[in-house]
Every structure is written in structure tokens, then in C-alpha cells.
Amino acid sequence: MDKRSFLKSLGLGMAALPFAGSSDALAMAAQVKPLLKGNVLKAGDTIGIITPASALGDEDAITLTKEVLSYFGFKVKEGKYIRERYGNLAGTDAQRLEDLHQMFADKSVAGILCIRGGAGASRLLSKIDYKLIANNPKVLLGYSDITALIMAFQAKASLVTFHGPVGTSNWSNFVANTFKDQFIDNKLVTFANPAKKGDNIVQYKDRITTINPGVVEGKLLGGNLTLISGLCGSPYLPDFKDSILFLEEINESPEKVDRMFCQLMNAGILSQIKGFVFGKCTGCSPSGGYGSLNLDQILRDFIKPLNIPAYTGAVIGHIDDQFLLPVGVKVRLDADKGTIEILEKALI
């Protein structure tokens, strides 16, 4: 729901309030949160680039990010501290926070692209001015450690953000086309793995596996498994009730993946969702050999018993060709076909 739709629905809801008890009416009104959305981007707009997590390895990361944005016709504004280093982080918490706040406060900045993920974004969550974010809704794009911001902005400001490539990602034509479809054309896209048979008679790469069949609709939430499990018990996770949860991971052994799914189960998140998608678990090979669980077994143990539409193998995660998913909007999941259909415009 965008601001305009919210005002209309709020008016209808308020009209019904006299028929309810005054305390019930006030509680009902307090629970209503508008879904905030940024504006569609256009050539000539200024995109801010920031490093809210790990430090950059070299200047090439900034140069390549600028070239990517220039390809789409955008101007670029650098965060003041993107070249800073504090241990493994891209500057102190105060410096990274200042860049984040400045980009949202700057009326000339139409959207924000994170140059990379890594680690450290979660350190900022308790210090962010969420009122500033809510008063200045705009595009924020990133993945991996940026999941911390994606989840917190949905939980604390109801802002639609975007899980997808960072500046240092490999910007293939597949990624570039999804970027244009979302941010410039504001399309209602149906995401499906690319069909690449090559000279083969069947497709071998990027196949999906249905865990439970079916079609379901709900609010799309998700990101990196480590980040989401690490935020359990904090105020920075949104309400997962009736949502479609997507997850991805990198360089974690199956026993650690299993532990994180235990956390999602014990925190009550898995029991609330209506649908589930797992993307890629890049570099998640067993470390112990004999007796190690594999990802298929973990998903069978935790997701299969939920009896909700679910599939795995989506091109989401630390890979070259990846979906660019609007987090917070309504979608339709088809677990048989392996598709995520966006049902609600993510921008205004």
C-alpha cells in the first residue's frame, strides 16, 4: 500500500471507528502502518553510493560502481566516508551512519546503492534515525550484509527496499535488465530462473526443486540467512505473519545452516510464513565429511513439514545472475513452476 492508498483506506477505516469501542478503535488505528515507497528513477537522477558494512579493497570498487550507474544515465554522489577503514569496516559506526543519514536527508539524491556488503551493518541499527528514513522514502539496493538494513527499514519504517546487486557485483545483461525493469520502468515482473540449456537437451544449471507444491500470495520478506537469524529477538525484524520468506547464504557449513534454521524455527518465524524460497548456498560444502547433513536434508527437515508452497534453487544470492527483489510488497509464489510474481508496484 502506498501513501495515497493508505490515506484512502484510513479514511474508510476511520469511518467505521464509531461502531467500535473507543479503546479498540484507537488500538486498531495505531496498528495501521502505511507501506512507504520511493520514486521511480529516471535518467539524470542522482544516485548516492555508500559503504555501510565492510571496507573497500581498492579504488576500482568505486570506479566500477560509477561506471555501472553511468550506463543507466545516472549521476553519482559519493558518501563522504566510502574510502575510510576501521579494522574490517568501512569507517567507524559514526562515519558509516553519517553517510547513510546524509543520503536519505539529501533531497537531490533519488536512490542509494551500496557498493558492497561484508559485515558491520547490524552495528548501525540501534543508532539509525528511522523517522528520517520514513520521512524521506527512496530506493535502497543491496544484499548480503545489507539484509540488516533491509529488515530494519521494513520493521521500523515500513520502507520498501530492494534485495539485489551491489556496486561491485557482476552486472550482466540479466542483472541490468532486471534493474531497468524495476527502477526505471517500475514493472510488475515475474521472476523465474534463466533457461540456459546451451547445447544440452535438458537444463543442468540453475534448476529449481519443489519442496512442497502449490501457489500462495503474501508479503515478500527475506535476505541473508545469517543476518536474519542473527536479528532474532531484536526489534529490527519485521512481522513475518503470512509472508513469503526467501533466503540465501554463502560460505557456511551445513551444520551452521542447520543451526540458523533452528533459530528461525525456535523464534517462531517458520510457523508464521505462508510460502518459502531458498536461493543459492554458495560455498556451503560439508566441512566434516561423514555424518554431515546436506542442504536438501536441512530443508526437508525444517520446511517440508510446514506444508506450505516452497521451492529451492532460485537465482538469489552470491551469484552473477540474480533476482532483484522488492522487499515488503505483495507477491505470488508458484512452487511448482519456481516463480515469484510481483503483484504490487514497488515504486511510485
Q: Which residues are catalytic?
A: 144, 248, 318
Q: Which strands, in side-by-side order, build the sheet including 109-114?
A: 75-78, 46-50, 109-114, 139-142, 161-163, 325-327
- Reading the block at residue 68, the C-alpha cell is 555501472
Q: Give the SS3 label for residue 127.
A: helix
- Quote the radius of gyration of the chain (alpha carbons, Å): 20
Q: Kind of pairing, strands 275-282 and 243-250?
A: parallel
- Reading the block at residue 98, the C-alpha cell is 553519517
Q: What are the C-alpha distances in Å from 205 to residues 187, 195, 200, 297?
A: 27, 9, 11, 21
Nearest by Cα to 240 from 209, 214, 265:
265
Q: DSSP character for 54?
A: B
Rounded CA gap, 155 and 266, in Å?
20
Nearest by Cα to 133 from 161, 114, 113:
161
Listed in sequence order, the DSSP H helices in the chain are 3-16, 22-31, 60-71, 93-105, 130-135, 147-157, 173-179, 225-230, 254-266, 295-302
